Structure formats: structure tokens, C-alpha cells
Amino acid sequence: MSEWELVEISSAEPDELIDEHQSYNTDGLETEVSDLHSHFWRDAGHLSEVEDRHKQVLISSGMIPESHIASVEPSRKLDWFVTELNGRMNPDGLSIPVKGLEINDIAIHQMSSDNETIIKFNFTEKDGQELERIVNIPNEISNTEVKANFFNDRLYLRW
């Protein structure tokens, strides 16, 4: 695996803002499987009971649920991170509100290998407290250029 590379964060408005209300084409056979899968997971509220019971089993067996699920399905870790910070996902990026932080308080690094791209986020508050999260970009779109913009108190990341 290569070394961590710093991702430059632009203060300009991103080319395309991530919209909260995404529309998915579910008509006909031309719909991508990944779009349908993403749409299903976004609207699968009925599965929360199953996920809760699965977590209970993992906890009772001594395993940390998030690490197990993240190792089985790395894209879930990215979803948890974005949800944790009240952000929004897009098939080729994300948007996170970072009110109270300046562009200099945010550092983003990426590490790429043949089959995955890992992104490391560092947010430093004014009192020195730091939040660090490491997430994987989905495999089917890895090894692409990552672009970051900080605009209107939101961090936009596109790949």
C-alpha cells in the first residue's frame, strides 16, 4: 500500500452540489444494479430490527459490531460516518456540515492500492479536540482522483 497523500481542499463552490433528494431511475432494464441496491438500503427501514438483533448477537459473543460489519461490507462504514456527522451521500461523493470549523481545521488524506482507496478525515476543533475517521471508498470506483471543497460551512468530497 502506498503512503498517505494530502488532498487539497478548495474554498471554491464545487462543480456540482450534492442534493438531498436524489432521484433514481427504476424504470426498465437500463437501471444500474448499484443504483437499485443503494436505493433499497436507503429506504429499508424495516431491516433496522434485523440489524439490531444482529448487533446483539455480536455483542453477546464478544465482538464489536461495527468492526465486524465494516470488515464484511466496507461501504457501511462510510455510510455510518456520513450519518454520524449529519451529512449526505451521493453515488460519487459526500457532503458534511462542518459549522464552526475553518478550512485550516480540516485535513483529508488518501491512500490508494490496486483494489481500494482509503480516505482519512481529521477535524480539529478550536479547543484542540480532534476527530479522525478512516473510511473506504467503494471498490468499483476506487483509484480515482478525490476532490475536496469547503463551501458555505460544508465539506464536499467527490471521487
3-state SS string for 80-137: HHHHHCCCEEECCEEEEECCCCCHHHEEEEEEECCCCEEEEEEEECCCCCEEEEEEEE
pLDDT band of 143, cuts 50, 70, 90: low
Task: Say which range, 10-19, 27-36, 77-86, has the weakest mean pLDDT.
Answer: 27-36
3-state SS string for 13-41: CCCCCCCCCCCCCCCCCCCCHHHHHHHHH
Query: Rounded mean pLDDT of the chain?
Result: 78
Residue 33 grid cell: 444494479
Residue 69 grid cell: 460489519
What predicted TM-score, i.e. pTM, was given to this entire model? 0.64
Query: What is the CATH topology of the domain spanning 5-15+44-158?
Result: Immunoglobulin-like (2.60.40)
Report pLDDT digits (tens) over 35-59: 777 777 777 777 777 777 777 676 5
